[in-house]
Amino acid sequence: MDFSVVIEYFPKLLEGAWVSVQLIFLSVLLGGIFALPIALARTSKNPFVNGLPFLYIFFFRGTPLLVQIFLVYYGASQFEVVRESVFWPILREPFWCAIIAFTLNTSAYTAEIFRGAIQAIPVGEVEACKTLGMTKVQMYRRILLPRAFGIVLPAYGNEIILMLKGSALASTITILDLTGMARTIIARTYTPIEIFLTAGVIYLAISMLVIAIFKQIEKRQNSYLGPIGSIKVPDKG
């Protein structure tokens, strides 16, 4: 084992980690934005409204992320329409292809998480909104979405961690993210254990950061439940 390579290549690995963080941040942000309307459509009882989001979620949850990345990266360029469109400068870039694939994938998962949270709100609290004469928009904007936000946090934090690990697949389409960078270094130095171990530690550090951030948000958002660990059950009497 030769850990001097770690010291030598650590800045390069951090460079890769930065690309990974950008990938996750952008796709989680965009995915979260797209997930909301998908989730709301999914909670509709109208089959014309909930049908399309159902298929969307079904496809992106049911196929491997790697296949989705390849479909965007290799698939889209087959069509001349795409190559001649204004989107080509974007679709030509592996980075943006990865962002597109990740966003589509995470928005499907996140939509399901949001839907679950919205439907987990006790029906009585929804009825309370109705009896005050709120419109649907007021009801969601003022009460249900903020309420669902607190419920969604633990599962959503989990989805971001999964996305972080899934982002390693970006290395398959020539992106020098943390994994991609590690593989490039190893091809030069033949030190897989040292470099992959280091990469693993960096992934862990990012995960811990995400977990810590979510714990803070959860603590603030769900303060009405009392301190974590002593969750107070509302007494009946």
Partner 1 sequence: MSNASVSRIPALELNNIHKTFGDVEVLKGISLKAYDGDVISILGSSGSGKSTFLRCINLLENPTEGEIIFKGEQLALTANKSPDLQASSMAQLTRMRQQIGFVFQSFNLWPHMTILDNVVEGPANVLKRPKQEAREYAEFLLNKVGIADKKHMYPSQLSGGQQQRVAIARTLAMDPQVILFDEPTSALDPELVGEVLGVMRSLAEEGRTMLIVTHEMNFAKEVSSEVVFLHQGLIEEQGTSKKVFEAPESERFKAFLSSTF
Q: Which chain residues interact with partner 1 by CB under 8 A?
A: 122, 124-125, 127-128, 130-136, 138, 142-143, 146-147, 150, 221-226, 232, 234-237
- Tokens read off for 73: 């990266």
- d(C-alpha 64, C-alpha 42), whole Å: 22
Nearest residue (CB) to partner 1, 21 versus 143: 143
Compare residues 136 and 165 and give the one whose CB is closer to partner 1: 136
| Kind and range of the H or E run holding 189 | helix 178-189
We find the least distance from the C-beta atom of residue 142 to partner 1, in angstroms, to be 5
Nearest distance from residue 147's CB to partner 1, in Å? Answer: 5
Least Å from the CB of residue 114 to partner 1: 16
- The DSSP call for residue 229 is T
Least distance from C-beta 29 to partner 1, angstroms?
A: 24
Distance CA 67, CA 185 (A): 26
DSSP-based three-state secondary structure for 222: coil
CB 101 within 8 A of CB 72: yes
CA distance 175 to 210: 23
Toward partner 1, which CB reaches closer, 133 or 229? Answer: 133
170-192 burial code (b ≥16 CB/10 A, e <16): bbbbebbbbbbbbbbbbeeeebe
Nearer CB in complex with partner 1: 84/236:
236
- 80 or 235: whose CB is closer to partner 1? 235
Q: Judged by CB, which is closer to partner 1: 121, or 161?
A: 121
Closest CA to 108 of 27, 46, 49, 206: 27
